[in-house]
Homo-oligomer: A and B are copies of this chain.
Amino acid sequence: MRQRQNAELRKPEILRNFLEILVEEGIEGASIGKVAKRMGIHPSLIMHYFSTKETLIIEAVDHIVHEYGVLIDRMKPRTADPARRLRRLLDTLVGDEWHRVSEIAADFSVISISFRNPEVDRRIRRLYSLYKRFLSGELRALMDAGLIERRDPARRAELLMSMLEGYRHFKHFFVSERSAKSFRSDMKRAILRLLGTGGD
């Protein structure tokens, strides 16, 4: 019996290690045995905290989803000035911070799991709903301020999310081929055009 810790410390530590393996080896390579070996503990200790692998996966997904939730929350505007809000929104959405939170490899694993795991699917959908609600609200405010074209905010939000998801996906495959910077500014301009700002 090496180190003795309590659940408050051990559980997140297990979760962290599981997520690391998920990134490195994908869901097909993420096993309880590997997590235990990496941590230098007995596999059954993991079973002690998470009674089944399924719950370990769910809690890992919850962790990722929660991090994105926090990020969305942090995006909430601190200023009333619409022009600054728009700029800040854009900078955040196509900024690096957003993409640093969670490894894209982990996200793909999670989505991959969601195809067969209804619980995981529900969580992703809930996150997207939150995201959409936030963006719709922001767009509506920008429309009211006359900064972007007045259209159905929810539908515009869906298009915007679609674009951002594609951006994220593509950045992974093209960031090395060409400077990520110019792709980012291209994307920003494309978003502004989609939203219908006066200029450009």
Interface size (A, Cβ < 8 Å)? 39
Cβ contacts under 8 Å, A111 to chain B: 108
Shortest beta-carbon distance from A157 to chain B in Å: 11
| A28-B25 in contact (CB<8A) | no
| B190-A159 in contact (CB<8A) | yes
Task: Name the segment of A12-20, A65-73, A134-142, A160-168 touching the other chain.
Answer: A160-168
| Given A159-B187, A163-B166, A174-B158, residue A115 in contact with residue B125 (CB < 8 A) | no
A128 CB–B CB distance under 8 Å: yes
Cβ contacts under 8 Å, A193 to chain B: 193-194, 196
A82 CB–B CB distance under 8 Å: no
A125 to B174, CA, bound (A): 9
Cβ contacts under 8 Å, A112 to chain B: 26-27, 105, 108-109, 112
| B166-A169 in contact (CB<8A) | yes
| Given A108-B108, A116-B26, A155-B186, residue A169 in contact with residue B173 (CB < 8 A) | no
A115 to B24, CA, bound (A): 8
A164 to B118, CA, bound (A): 26
Shortest beta-carbon distance from A131 to chain B in Å: 11
A170 CB–B CB distance under 8 Å: yes
A50 CB–B CB distance under 8 Å: no
Cβ contacts under 8 Å, A125 to chain B: 173
A155 to B186, CA, bound (A): 8
Shortest beta-carbon distance from A165 to chain B in Å: 4
A14 to B112, CA, bound (A): 23
